[in-house]
Structure 1
Amino acid sequence: MHTTQTFRHVSYLWDEAKALELAGNEVDLFIYRSNLLGADLRLTNYAGGNTSVKITETDPLTGQPVEVMWVKGSGGDIGTLTKAGCANLYVDRLKALKNRYRGLEFEDEMVELFNHCLFDPKCAAPSIDTPLHGLLPYKHIDHLHPDALIAIAASKDGETIMKEIWGDQLAWIPWQRPGFDLGLQLEKAVTDNPNLRGIILGGHGLFTWGSTSYESYINTLEVIEQASEYLNANYGKKRAVFGGQKLENTDAETRKARAAELIPTLRGLASSYRRMLGHFTDDARVLEFVNSNDLDKLAPLGTSCPDHFLRTKIRPLVLEPADTLILKSAEELKTYLVEQFEAYRADYAAYYERCKHDNSPAMRDPNPVVILWPQVGMFTFSKDKQTARVASEFYINAINVMKGAEAVSEYVGLPEQEAFDIEYWLLEEAKLQRMPKPKSLSGRIAFVTGGTGGIGKAICEVLLQNGACVVAADRDRLDDVQTELRRQYGKDSTITAAIDVTSTDVIAESLKQSALQFGGVDIVVNCAGLSISKPLADHTEKDWDILQDVLVKGQFLVTQKAVEILRKQKLDGDIVNIASKNALFAGPNNVGYGTAKAAQLHMSRLLAAELGPEKIRVNTVNPDAVLRGSKIWESGWAEGRAKAYGIAMEDLPAHYAKRTLLNEEILPEDIAKAVLVFVDGSLGKSTGNVLNVDGGVAVAFVR
């Protein structure tokens, strides 16, 4: 039984009861250890670092025992690692590759040779770090990117500081790009000093190990804890953190309001190469950095750890302080931001030209990934929400590293040529080329009113299935629907937002949440609705007003506020209004609802005519008799329609199906598919159109 350890700067998560359940299965314990290490972002960043274990397996060909290394595969994340995400290799074959290694100029060819060392040919692809584990003699190995360690590894006096803290317990290997040669250097370091407990890779990270999974875990935590203690003892000792505060913080509400106003414009500019999704944070660590005296000195140096750099680009774009920018007129602000982006792109292109090789891949997107706004926070942009969020986390890692390095020495960024050689590494390019083709709505943000109801939720799901990020705006079931959609489509995919479509202020707040969460909006689906079916004599003024307010005024106000964001982005967009067959067909006992639906339909035509020159398409979907899951049919509408047709309520589905030309019941997902056709590019040159999804009702044909 191990004694629980106490740490101040890292999380001790080892559960002895859980470990005992896994006892006897070294791979399961290795996975368990990996997940615990990956759960604490102070230990390593998302998808950063790797872990391994060497065990004895039975060779399927010879039946003899052989040593096999299980190691995190390429592109995986130790926090969520499973066996399926691991590569497993014969250790003797991996070591035998030393006889094939031809030197630094031939590093890339070694990666292909790793495939000839696989124990299970169907396992995950080995990463470039595989020899760094395989050539070390230890059973359990952790390679992590802890901020505290990298702060020392990326400081001018890092090796001296290492010796001050750990004496001869750790060794130092100067910065070098990962590969087989670095593995050989690790091997030599432990051969020369077999009593080492770990190795620091200059500017990069940490290697630690143990004879058991638990010993490796504890060794890793202890080394990182000691580094953290050292840094904390030195913060503010030599000089104020980041040279002290230069700018005053604004309050949280003001920061978020300013961020929501600016982020759609930033997103539009950042999307000149491909449509991007955004992330905003006003984390205290970010504010400490962007409001400091050292911002202008440190930000241009870029990051040090290659994992940080690959996610955040060569350097961030730094804007003028908020108090300065908000004084500019709208036109002045637009001009300023355009100039800043153009200068960044030109600087990036110059960096590419200075550093490229004859066989370098073509220059990629020259727009910034990280944008720092003093007094407000940090924006990050990438091809999907998760990558944008992770880029933000990585830059916070970089801030932590700069803070620590400057406290104990002087921060040293990755040399420009080294940074380029990693960013445009042919192996990285090959990995990018293997990425799956984006879904039709990747990079798009949908705002769906009535998003937790039957039709609205079905629309949200279809859009999510096709790669969009979705804001489901409604009055109720917000928590339940958000939990359900995130469980099925990922935590970064969707949020719910409270909305009252009759209130301009509430609508604006809902759209603000869309901007802060994802960067703006591209697709607006006006699906919020209600229905009242009564004869003229029974129809009250209150009935009339609520139908007009929710269906007509609601569609108008949501569209009006959403178009403000669309215009800031200057990207194309889609508005799809869910009307009804009743917009075209005059049925009995339906004067209030039918009039409102007709108004919705004609408003769509008017908006299409107005917004078309801005590449904003406006189209209408006309459902009919969507019974299952619809909030409308939970009200008195079904009873009213049954009475109007002289039938029992339970006979309504069959009645509606039989009156259609196709004799089909209409489901919420049928409406969702119609929305998809309008927004996924299939009808990219269509606006002002009406798509009936009613099974075929001749009296409602458009004519």
Structure 2
Amino acid sequence: MKDPKQKEPIASLWNDSAAAAMSEPELLLYRSNLLGSDLRITNFGGGNTSAKVMMADPLSGEQVEVLWVKGSGGDLGSIKIDGFSTLYMDKLQALKQRYRGLALEDEMVAYLPHCTFNLNPRAASIDTPLHAYIDRKHVDHMHPDSCIAIAACKNSEAITAKVFEGELGWLPWQRPGYDLGLKLEALSKSQPQLKGIILEGHGLFTWGDTAKSCYETTLNIIKRAEEWLAANVKQPVFGGAGTTALAAEERSALAAKLMPILRGKISQDEYKLGHFDDSDAVLEFVCSKDLEPLAALGTSCPDHFLRTKIRPFVIDFDPAKPDFDGLVAGLDERLEAYRADYRAYHERCKHDNSPAVRDANPIIYLIPGVGMLSFAKDKATARIAGEFYVNAINVMRGANGVDTYVGLPEQEAFDIEYWLLEEAKLQRMPKPKSLAGRIALVTGGAGGIGQAVARQLLQEGACVMLTDIDPEALEQAHKDLAKAAGKDSVGSIVANITSEQAVEDVINASALRFGGIDLLISNAGIASSAPLDETTLEIWNRNQDILVTGYFLASRAAFRIMKQQKLGGSMVFVASKNGLVASAGASAYCTAKAAEIHLARCIALEGAPHGIRVNVVNPDAVIRGSRIWDGKWKQERAQSNKIGADDVEDFYRQRSMLKLSVLPEDIAEAVYFLSSDKAGKSTGNILNVDAGNAAAFTR
């Protein structure tokens, strides 16, 4: 996968006309969004921007200097005006009187809320002093790959002086915090000609007197670093090519085959979701001679390893002699060695008050000739972790091309990863939703019930792969659901589930996009009505193909994946009241629905030893929002019941015991219940959602 934007020079996107009418806070927001829109400038969630603005004090009405700075946990590319913290500069200056030295610098964070301007609820980040004490109006702190490459060189200080000719200062590695803010202040004041500072192993600070000049200085410094690195390469990238990448289709096929197996091995304590990347940058690295020694050095920038762990896991695979079974056979031993090494790292580096060791599984997985997998507790985090490791690859490329790459010392890495302030942030995270980390496949996903089910599962934290035979309807459903739940959580693929190959393609698409399957919602459906003597073989076979064979193929394929993962699973068949109660004039449909129910029972028997539950939801007369009722079925049922087509919904409502209409959302609630751990001790069951039909009572 190529990203054309990465091949283009970084260019200023500043629009003077748009900026002319903006206030200083609005200009800060504008600058931040521009900088955050390009991952070459800073990574997702990384980097900070600030502006010192004169404002009226809400109590005295006097003009006071206020620091506007990106708040804790924000992302520059998507930040809004309420994402910035605001603090009195005079109070931030007064904090210096409270500082008791480097060993106690963390206590300074508790003072930041006391500096808040105008009761702003946005929490200030740990980087606040780094911006406050630089004696310039506008400050950017970015993590561009090119500048981090220079910062991560063995001879970083000398190279900084050579490249920037005195326009940038340099500071040795130090964990971000109050003390580093004071050092930035001292250097910026002692050398007023500086346009910024390189932090060893970390990133770039730049500044300016206006929002525009600060933005353009940031871009110019980054471009200058890029150009110097490109012009001064002294040795083959990553030691040169060590192997050749597999063809694109082979890479995807191997990743789709491996991800459910690997996911099962690392999800025993917490469900993980996966992401696959075989971009040019990744392939160059995983096919290189120096893959293993460079991977072992770990990352440098703290923003990188906080999301990727300090080291990746290199999978033992030779693309010149592909042996998938051998790869899988060696996984358990190598994974346990990685976990043991991680625990030993924690044991070596921990302090008396360090948090307990966290999940010891890798986050980044590098496969020679294939690409990179990343696994995390949700899809967005897995994708972003992969993006951060691509940043790390770019840093290693740049640093090793001109000098020698140096990873962050182990103790320094630990002190950030297990920083008590970071631990406190983790503890404040909201409790995971009930289906967090689960992967659901919904067939018939473009229909009313399918979309309602998908929406319900997404609201509960699952990722959803939709499939449907109607490409236009599926595309619209995908857009609508992605808009509501975020693009990371939704995937779709057009398929006819009566085709064995098409179903395999759906399963592989789900595995490649998310890592596997935990929940199968078999919902694809049709409806037909005809007296027995007018029921053609074509009508009969069409019902059997979609409602029986399609359900069999989908459940068989999902069953295989669930067994591989060894995480259990849940299947829910959306059948019909007609599977229990015969209806005149619908023999083909009723028989197929009855077969669905019995198929579910059969799978429940075989699935139980593997923790795979299979249950059935029986709707009745879901008319509103259902595509089935948009076709001939509505006319046929109206004729069968001797009523007008416009009276169908009221007819079924009045026929029910509760006199209520059954809606797609009602079916979705039932599907969610049976899919979730709330029904963890239920399998082989039938749940009727029909507003009451005595003939359909299960016995």
Q: Give the alignment's TM-score, normalised by structure 2.
A: 0.98
Deviations 1:263-300 (A, max 9, x none): 11111112133110000010110010011011111001
Rounded Cα–Cα distance in structure 1 between residues aligned with 2:416 and 2:48: 18
- Equivalence for 1:242: 238
Query: Residues 30 and 124 from structure 1, CA distance in 2 versus in 1: closer, same or farther, beyond 3 angstroms?
Result: same
- Equivalence for 2:466: 472
Quote the offset at 1:153 in angstroms.
0.2
Q: Does the 8 A contact of 1:203 with 1:305 survive in 2?
A: yes
Q: Percent identity?
A: 54
Match of 1:170 among 168, 171, 185: 168
For 2:183, the aligned partner's letter is Q
Quote the offset at 1:339 in angstroms.
1.0
Rounded Cα–Cα distance in structure 1 between residues aligned with 2:320 and 2:228: 38
Quote the offset at 1:451 in angstroms.
0.3
1:463 is the counterpart of 2:461: no
Match of 1:127 among 125, 128, 135: 125
Rounded Cα–Cα distance in structure 2 between residues aligned with 1:144 and 1:349: 32
- Equivalence for 2:678: 682
- Equivalence for 2:542: 546
Any idea what SS the aligned residue of 2:478 has?
helix
For 1:142, the aligned partner's letter is D
Deviations 1:59-81 (A, max 9, x none): 11222110001000011011111
Rounded Cα–Cα distance in structure 1 between residues aligned with 2:642 and 2:135: 84
Any idea what SS the aligned residue of 2:21 has?
helix
For 2:170, the aligned partner's letter is W
Match of 1:593 among 589, 592, 598: 589
- Equivalence for 1:638: 634
Match of 1:627 among 620, 623, 626: 623
Rounded Cα–Cα distance in structure 1 between residues aligned with 2:618 and 2:321: 45
Rounded Cα–Cα distance in structure 1 between residues aligned with 2:273 and 2:208: 42
1:444 is the counterpart of 2:442: no
Quote the offset at 1:361 in angstroms.
0.7
For 1:14, the aligned partner's letter is W
Rounded Cα–Cα distance in structure 2 between residues aligned with 1:657 and 1:242: 69
Query: Residues 289 and 427 from structure 1, CA distance in 2 versus in 1: closer, same or farther, beyond 3 angstroms?
Result: same
Any idea what SS the aligned residue of 2:698 has?
coil
Quote the offset at 1:121 in angstroms.
2.5
Task: Give the gaps of 5 or more residues in structure 2.
Answer: 1-6
Quote the offset at 1:615 in angstroms.
0.3
Any idea what SS the aligned residue of 1:357 has?
coil
Rounded Cα–Cα distance in structure 1 between residues aligned with 2:328 and 2:498: 31
Equivalent pairs counted in the alignment come to 691
Quote the offset at 1:12 in angstroms.
2.0
Any idea what SS the aligned residue of 1:182 has?
helix
1:193 is the counterpart of 2:191: yes
Greater than 4 Å deviation, 4+ residue runs:
none
1:75 is the counterpart of 2:73: yes
- Equivalence for 1:613: 609
Rounded Cα–Cα distance in structure 2 between residues aligned with 1:81 and 1:356: 35
Query: Residues 619 and 8 from structure 1, CA distance in 2 versus in 1: closer, same or farther, beyond 3 angstroms?
Result: closer
- Equivalence for 2:103: 105
Quote the offset at 1:108 in angstroms.
1.2
Rounded Cα–Cα distance in structure 2 between residues aligned with 1:255 and 1:334: 16
Rounded Cα–Cα distance in structure 2 between residues aligned with 1:41 and 1:8: 13
RMSD, aligned CA: 1.1
Query: Residues 624 and 325 from structure 1, CA distance in 2 versus in 1: closer, same or farther, beyond 3 angstroms?
Result: farther
Deviations 1:297-343 (A, max 9, x none): 100111000000100002000011243784254xx544311111111
Rounded Cα–Cα distance in structure 2 between residues aligned with 1:180 and 1:653: 67
Q: Give the alignment's TM-score, normalised by structure 1.
A: 0.97
Q: Does the 8 A contact of 1:11 with 1:40 survive in 2?
A: no
More displaced 10-residue stretch of structure 1: 478-487 or 74-83 = 478-487
- Equivalence for 2:415: 421
Rounded Cα–Cα distance in structure 2 between residues aligned with 1:87 and 1:270: 38
Any idea what SS the aligned residue of 1:78 has?
coil
Query: Residues 21 and 325 from structure 1, CA distance in 2 versus in 1: closer, same or farther, beyond 3 angstroms?
Result: farther
1:312 is the counterpart of 2:303: no
Q: Does the 8 A contact of 1:322 with 1:376 survive in 2?
A: no
Q: Does the 8 A contact of 2:621 with 2:652 survive in 1?
A: yes
1:352-363 to 2 correspondence within 5 Å?
352-363=346-357
- Equivalence for 1:34: 32
Quote the offset at 1:16 in angstroms.
2.1
Rounded Cα–Cα distance in structure 1 between residues aligned with 2:518 and 2:178: 46
For 2:227, the aligned partner's letter is E
Q: Does the 8 A contact of 2:244 with 2:319 survive in 1?
A: no
1:256 is the counterpart of 2:252: yes
Rounded Cα–Cα distance in structure 2 between residues aligned with 1:17 and 1:542: 66
Match of 2:557 among 561, 567, 584: 561
- Equivalence for 1:505: 501
- Equivalence for 1:297: 293
For 1:151, the aligned partner's letter is A
Rounded Cα–Cα distance in structure 2 between residues aligned with 1:589 and 1:229: 76
Deviations 1:200-238 (A, max 9, x none): 000000000111110001000000000000111123xx2
Deviations 1:132-191 (A, max 9, x none): 000111111100000000000000011111111112111100000000100000001011
Query: Residues 8 and 667 from structure 1, CA distance in 2 versus in 1: closer, same or farther, beyond 3 angstroms?
Result: closer
For 2:585, the aligned partner's letter is N
For 1:414, the aligned partner's letter is L
